Structure 1
Amino acid sequence: MEKPTHLIDFETMLLGRHVHHNSPRPRRSGGQLDSSAYVLLSRIDIEGPMSIGQLSDALGLDTSTLHRQTTSMLGRRLLERIPDPDGGMARKFRITDEGKALLDGERSGSIAALDTMMADWTAEDVAAFAAYLKRFNTDIERMGGRPWPRP
């Protein structure tokens, strides 16, 4: 039997549409963080302070894009610049208490929205779906050479 990967292609296209357009979203509907800020703050929250170079390597973004994003988040007091705790030359970005509170609030809203959308799913179905998503993501990360730390 041939693998029906064409079905995965179609469903991931739709998932991307739901997440990135103005349809009912699984997360951040009405939120204060756009997707890029949510991802960047989440990475720093998990990994700790990071330099522009480390963020570029981790996220696969060029430094000019990251400078724009971090400048905006510095202005909103979601991030702060600190000396490298390990004594390196590059300054690092650390999430502020305000940034952490906003990220946690956004995450709680996202989880609540998912709970609503999946209200008729069993706990076992949700766990199985999460396991398949994790497997799919870790395979993508392995192929791209950019593993994502998990809490």
Structure 2
Amino acid sequence: MLEKLERELMLLSRHQVLARRERDPERLERSAYLLLSRIDTQGPMSIGQLAEAFGLDTSTVNRQTAALLRCGLAERVADPDGGMARKLRITGEGGRRLAEDREVNRSCLARVVAGWSPEEVRELEDALARLNRSAEALEGRHWPRAEEAEEGGARAACRPPAPHGSPDPAPQAPADPAP
């Protein structure tokens, strides 16, 4: 019964990879994109919070966030809530690169669904959101969505600060966090 669904999800992940990083070295690595997206939606997070959010060892997240720091895409800040742990916040450069990648992703998606009606696009969005929320419930790890943050009034705290200048080119994050 789930053969077609499994196959289509496998193919979808294949298409997403082809449409993303391999064609443009300026694009964020998958792990950088996912980490920055989570911080963008939720606000500054500690390495421990990121490890919990992705279900990864702190050593793995530490390596990935070190790459973000080296590239100037994130910075360490004091916990805005007064906690002891330092947190990671997106820099202006990180926010700019994340926004550029999102725009490229949306542009690719627009070409894919160009012949679809707005209702068909909304149906797919709703079905994918339901699929993701079901997976999150099984894993016990909720992924906050921008619309939830906006409803709660916390979106302003998730915005990156003004740019600090251009970082030197550096290698991207080495490993991908689990979706």
How high is the TM-score relative to the length of structure 2?
A: 0.76
Q: Following TM superposition, by how much is the alpha carbon of 1:7 offset from its aligned partner in structure 2, in angstroms? A: 1.2
- Give the fraction of aligned pairs with identical amino acids, expressed as a percent: 49
Q: Following TM superposition, by how much is the alpha carbon of 1:110 offset from its aligned partner in structure 2, in angstroms? A: 0.5
1:96 aligns with 2:85: no
Q: Following TM superposition, by how much is the alpha carbon of 1:131 offset from its aligned partner in structure 2, in angstroms? A: 0.5
Aligned residues: 144
Cross-structure match for 1:48: 43
Q: Following TM superposition, by how much is the alpha carbon of 1:142 offset from its aligned partner in structure 2, in angstroms? A: 0.5
Cross-structure match for 2:7: 10
The one-letter code matched in structure 1 to 2:39 is I
User: Of the candidates 140, 148, 160, which is equivalent to residue 145 of structure 1?
Assistant: 140
3-state SS of paired residue (2:84): coil
3-state SS of paired residue (2:83): coil
Cross-structure match for 1:84: 79
Q: Following TM superposition, by how much is the alpha carbon of 1:37 offset from its aligned partner in structure 2, in angstroms? A: 0.7
* Superposed CA offset, 1:109-146 (max 9, x none): 10011001111111111110111000000000001000
Q: Following TM superposition, by how much is the alpha carbon of 1:150 offset from its aligned partner in structure 2, in angstroms? A: 0.6
* Superposed CA offset, 1:27-78 (max 9, x none): 4552520111111000000000000110011011211111111111101110
Cross-structure match for 1:113: 108
3-state SS of paired residue (1:81): strand
3-state SS of paired residue (2:75): strand
Distance 1:62 1:123 in 2: 41
1:36 aligns with 2:34: no
What are structure 2's unaligned runs of at least 5 residues? Answer: 147-179
Distance 2:102 2:27 in 1: 11
Cross-structure match for 1:62: 57
RMSD: 1.3
How high is the TM-score relative to the length of structure 1?
A: 0.90
Give runs of ≥4 in structure 1 deviating > 4 Å: none
Q: Following TM superposition, by how much is the alpha carbon of 1:6 offset from its aligned partner in structure 2, in angstroms? A: 1.7
* Superposed CA offset, 1:85-124 (max 9, x none): 1111111000011101110111011001100111111111
Distance 1:94 1:55 in 2: 12
Distance 1:85 1:36 in 2: 24
The one-letter code matched in structure 2 to 1:72 is A
The one-letter code matched in structure 1 to 2:28 is L
